[in-house]
Structure 1
Amino acid sequence: MPAPVRHIVFLAFPGVRQLDITGPLEVFATARDLGAAYSWTVCSPDGADVATPSGRLAVDAPADPTVLHARGPVDTIIVPGSADLPEGPDPDGLLPALHALTSAAATPPRRVAAVCTGAFALASAGLLDHRRATTHWRHAATLARRHPLIEVEPDAIHVRDGHLLTSAGVTAGIDLALAMVEADAGADLAREVARDLVVFMQRPGGQSQFSSALRTAPPHHDLLRGVVDAIAADPAEDHRAPALAARAGLSVRHLTRLFHDQLGTTPAGYVEAARVAAAQGLLASGATVTGAAQRSGFGSDESLRRAFARRLGVTPSAYRARFRTTARDMS
């Protein structure tokens, strides 16, 4: 007896990033070519085509449960992201459409997923309350601030909590779709899809490797601003707390309190983050691991490796292999 077809619905809206749809869609299409039973529909709140930053996106149907269920029971709803969702008002009709699709009385979807900032739409609809979730690293703090009932995991590539799934930025939608295929059709088929698309079956490391390790806002206190500027100017200098406090004319206790209150970390934690950020830049520019360790202030390859493991979840050599330029090696 053939497996039932799993019908996947992508909910598009004005401003959506097309890759948030086309990336996962390629995964499901490839899986279907390899024997998995998938079908899909791209819908919008009113059924009209939508404008996107990269051109107009054709839509198959309105986000009407009656219309969509006529094509087969909806198995999965996928909400893509847009640049406007983290801060702007929700696009017209998006939340009512999402509510209609997720609460259809007859056969509610088996799972609901969001790609990138699509998590903000799920959050606004109340679907992620008291759940674990992730989103693009650039917007994870905003998601946590705006929706304190959500347990945000900023470094995760994708997160599943019950029937709800969320993913990190843009191409992480491919990782999320592969995880769905694996759950539906097994690891062997998902692995074949990954090979066909030339992507990782499971991406090594978390999404923090794609961001700077130093993501704090500038401090308001003038003396503290001078301290962090000095750290950024020469990460390899002696930046132990007594030295920093002496240069600022403050006690170590006062300096530590300023770091905690305005930057949410300790002096040592901030210095390590600044050195990791410096090492990221050096490695991406072609520096060797040893050269990056010395010039960023870690001193040894092992110290750099431990800091990268803590903050980025990858080794310096793996980071260098993924992000370096084609420039010649630097000493």
Structure 2
Amino acid sequence: MTVVLFVLLPGVHLLDLAGPAQAFFAAGDLGHPYELRYVAGSPGTAVVPSAQGLPLAADADWPATTADDLLVVPGWRTGEDPRAWPQVGDATRERLRAHHAAGGTVASVCAGADALGQAGLLDGRRCTTHHAVQDELAARHPRARLVRDVLFTTDDRVVTSAGIASGIDLSLHLLAVRHGPAVAARVAREMVVYARRNGAERQASVMLRHRSHVDDTVHRVQDLIDAHFARPLPLADLAARAGVAERTLTRQFTRATGVTPLRYQQLLRLERAEHLLGHGATVEAAAHAVGFRDARMLRRLRSR
């Protein structure tokens, strides 16, 4: 079972932790189980105080992890004095580096990006954090490529989010990449959260990038495409399921999302194929897995 290991530091914000934990827990209820584990990021700490006053029990010893597992560092209360930010233990920094070097993904919420920076994982990579601590993060880690005022960034298996509720957006993105957009959408509905938020720049998740509208008809069609993007989906069938004419559907879909239904399906296929390629699949195998007859169309789409 895939492990999501939360690295807790003193003053951790409860929502930075609870939002992602709930998202992965909900995925388990939908048939994609995760084992949630909690470890103290500072030495000699078994009970981690939260910013909201609730003490959190955490393991002192790190469990064994594999490249398929996910390490997440929730943020903490930063306060007015940056010198009071918690120091990540040497062992924790090494664990974060080693996990990434072994092919694993590391993520942070809010000020948790500083922990990744202390481990050297932000050097030369795009990252973000809460708007209130962007300047401090940039000063602490001048080699990081800070992206301001976006919900989350991804760069070479280093994923950072803006903070507080945006940790949920980050988690939905990771679930979409791992299991497809339909699973992420179901998790969002289960959590009763708005799954279509988007940042100021182009994000990696197709679902989030093209769901920032309020057209219910188009959302229903997107639900169908999300769930069956690897299959042939004739426009006539989509229009019939939506109860509108083909021309009407194309016009509404393009107005709401900026792309046609076919282009949306291609983007979902391309996103999934890129994930498979990143995990060692050949172009031919990835193309067939996402519904292309051969690799030529996938190569053409990637070249764009």
How high is the TM-score relative to the length of structure 1? 0.55
* Alpha-carbon distance between aligned partners in 2 of 1:98 and 1:150, rounded to the nearest angstrom: 20
Can you list the C-alpha shifts for 1:285-314, whole angstroms capped at 9, x where unaligned? xxxxxxxxxxxxxxxxxxxxxxxxxxxxxx
* Alpha-carbon distance between aligned partners in 2 of 1:74 and 1:41, rounded to the nearest angstrom: 14
Quick check: 2:100–2:106 contact (8 Å CA) kept in 1? no
* Alpha-carbon distance between aligned partners in 2 of 1:146 and 1:111, rounded to the nearest angstrom: 22
Equivalent position of 2:86 in the other structure: 91
* Alpha-carbon distance between aligned partners in 2 of 1:88 and 1:109, rounded to the nearest angstrom: 32
Equivalent position of 1:57 in the other structure: 55
* Alpha-carbon distance between aligned partners in 2 of 1:125 and 1:43, rounded to the nearest angstrom: 16
1:166 lines up with 2:164 in the alignment: no
Q: 1:73 to 1:7 in 2, by over 3 A?
A: farther
Code of the residue aligned with 1:116 in structure 2: it is: C
1:80 lines up with 2:74 in the alignment: yes
Can you list the C-alpha shifts for 1:254-281, whole angstroms capped at 9, x where unaligned? xxxxxxxxxxxxxxxxxxxxxxxxxxxx
Same amino acid, percent of matched pairs = 34
Code of the residue aligned with 1:61 in structure 2: it is: D
Equivalent position of 1:31 in the other structure: 27
1:21 lines up with 2:45 in the alignment: no
RMSD of the TM alignment (CA)?
A: 2.6
Code of the residue aligned with 1:75 in structure 2: it is: D
- Structure 1 unpaired stretches of 5+: 208-331
* Alpha-carbon distance between aligned partners in 2 of 1:32 and 1:202, rounded to the nearest angstrom: 21
Quick check: 2:110–2:161 contact (8 Å CA) kept in 1? yes
Code of the residue aligned with 2:59 in structure 1: it is: A
Equivalence map 1:116-265=2 (5 Å): 116-206=110-200
**Corresponding residue SS for 2:71:** strand
**Corresponding residue SS for 1:117:** helix
**Corresponding residue SS for 1:58:** strand
* Alpha-carbon distance between aligned partners in 2 of 1:157 and 1:106, rounded to the nearest angstrom: 22
* Alpha-carbon distance between aligned partners in 1 of 2:187 and 2:75, rounded to the nearest angstrom: 23
Equivalent position of 2:251 in the other structure: none
* Alpha-carbon distance between aligned partners in 1 of 2:82 and 2:100, rounded to the nearest angstrom: 34
Q: What is the deviation of 1:148?
A: 1.8
* Alpha-carbon distance between aligned partners in 2 of 1:74 and 1:59, rounded to the nearest angstrom: 25
**Corresponding residue SS for 2:69:** strand
Aligned length: 198
Quick check: 1:74–1:108 contact (8 Å CA) kept in 2? no
Equivalent position of 1:232 in the other structure: none
Equivalent position of 1:214 in the other structure: none
Quick check: 1:11–1:77 contact (8 Å CA) kept in 2? yes
Q: What is the deviation of 1:56?
A: 2.7
* Alpha-carbon distance between aligned partners in 2 of 1:117 and 1:27, rounded to the nearest angstrom: 20
**Corresponding residue SS for 1:112:** strand
**Corresponding residue SS for 1:55:** coil
Q: What is the deviation of 1:133?
A: 0.3
Code of the residue aligned with 2:126 in structure 1: it is: R
Code of the residue aligned with 2:34 in structure 1: it is: Y
Q: State the structure with more CA Rg.
A: 1
Quick check: 1:116–1:135 contact (8 Å CA) kept in 2? yes
- Structure 2 unpaired stretches of 5+: 202-304
Quick check: 2:96–2:116 contact (8 Å CA) kept in 1? no
Q: What is the deviation of 1:98?
A: 2.5
**Corresponding residue SS for 1:88:** helix
Can you list the C-alpha shifts for 1:72-122, whole angstroms capped at 9, x where unaligned? 777111111112388125525x24242232244899461000101111121
* Alpha-carbon distance between aligned partners in 2 of 1:206 and 1:139, rounded to the nearest angstrom: 18
**Corresponding residue SS for 1:31:** helix
